[in-house]
Structure 1
Amino acid sequence: MARTRDDRNRHAATRLPGLTIDSCNLALRDADGGGFIGDRASQRAFRELLDLRRRHHFTGSRDPFGRTPTDAIGKKEIDLVLVGGDPDAAHLVHAAIEDHAERLAGVIRCFLAQPEWDGVKRIVIGGGFPGNRTGALSVRRAARLLKLARAGVDLTLLRHDGDDAGLLGWVPLAPARMQRHDAFLAVDIGGTNIRCGIVAPRLDARDDGSRATVLERTQWRHATDAPDRDEAMTRTAAMLNGLIAHARTRGLRLAPFVGVACPGQVAPDGAILHGAHNLPGDWEAADFRVADALQARLDRIGGRQAQVRLHNDAVVQGLSERPRMTGVRRWGVLTIGTGLGNASYTTRRS
Structure 2
Amino acid sequence: MHDTSSPTLPVASHGAALLRGLRVEASGNSLPGLPAGADRDFDSILAAWRLRHRRGGGRDPFGDIVPEAVEAEALDQALAGFAPVAAGLVQGAIEDVAHNLVKIIRACLVRPEWQGTQRLVVGGGFRVARIAELALARAGVLLRAESLGSAVAAIRHDPAETGLLGAARLLPLRLLEGSDAVLTADLGRRSFRAGLVLPRLGVAPELAAACIWRMRAWVHVAEAPDRQRALQGLGALLGELAGTARDAGLSIAPAIAIGVPAPVAGDGTLGEGAELLPGDWSAPGFRAAEAIEALLPQRAADVVLHHAAVTYGLSEAPFHRDIARWGVLRIGADPGHARFTNLPLRR
Matched, 1:189 2:184: no
| Secondary structure, counterpart of 1:218 in structure 2 | strand
CA drift at 1:135: 4.1
The residue aligned with 1:33 is none
CA drift at 1:232: 1.4
The residue aligned with 2:174 is 177
CA drift at 1:73: 3.5
The residue aligned with 1:29 is 32
The residue aligned with 1:168 is 165
1:221-242 superposed Cα distances (whole Å, 9 cap, x missing partner): 1223332221111111111111
Distance (whole Å) between structure 2 residues aligned to residue 75 and residue 281 of structure 1: 33
The residue aligned with 2:297 is 299
The residue aligned with 2:258 is 260
Code of the residue aligned with 1:237 in structure 2: it is: G
Bigger Cα displacement from structure 2, 156-165 vs 117-126: 156-165
Distance (whole Å) between structure 1 residues aligned to residue 68 and residue 316 of structure 2: 33
For residues 287 and 83 of structure 1, do their structure 2 counterparts lie closer, same or farther at Cα, with a shift above 3 Å needed?
farther
Distance (whole Å) between structure 1 residues aligned to residue 329 and residue 16 of structure 2: 19
The residue aligned with 1:127 is 124
Unaligned runs of at least 5 residues, structure 2: 1-9
For residues 8 and 119 of structure 1, do their structure 2 counterparts lie closer, same or farther at Cα, with a shift above 3 Å needed?
farther
Corresponding residue to 2:229 among 220, 228, 231: 231
Residues 181, 254 of structure 1: 8 Å contact kept: yes
Matched, 1:335 2:335: no
For residues 298 and 51 of structure 1, do their structure 2 counterparts lie closer, same or farther at Cα, with a shift above 3 Å needed?
same
Taking structure 1 as the reference length, what is the TM-score of the superposition? 0.86
For residues 202 and 66 of structure 1, do their structure 2 counterparts lie closer, same or farther at Cα, with a shift above 3 Å needed?
closer
Distance (whole Å) between structure 2 residues aligned to residue 38 and residue 228 of structure 1: 28
Corresponding residue to 2:90 among 90, 93, 97: 93
Distance (whole Å) between structure 2 residues aligned to residue 53 and residue 306 of structure 1: 49
Distance (whole Å) between structure 2 residues aligned to residue 272 and residue 85 of structure 1: 50
Code of the residue aligned with 1:189 in structure 2: it is: L
The residue aligned with 2:272 is 274
Unaligned runs of at least 5 residues, structure 1: 1-6, 31-35
Distance (whole Å) between structure 1 residues aligned to residue 80 and residue 190 of structure 2: 28
| Secondary structure, counterpart of 2:149 in structure 1 | coil
The residue aligned with 1:20 is 23
Over the aligned positions, Cα root-mean-square deviation in angstroms equals 2.6
CA drift at 1:324: 0.6
Corresponding residue to 2:200 among 195, 198, 202: 202
1:230-260 superposed Cα distances (whole Å, 9 cap, x missing partner): 1111111111111111111111111221111
Code of the residue aligned with 2:153 in structure 1: it is: T
1:112-159 superposed Cα distances (whole Å, 9 cap, x missing partner): 111111011111111243655444432221122112333211111111
Taking structure 2 as the reference length, what is the TM-score of the superposition? 0.87
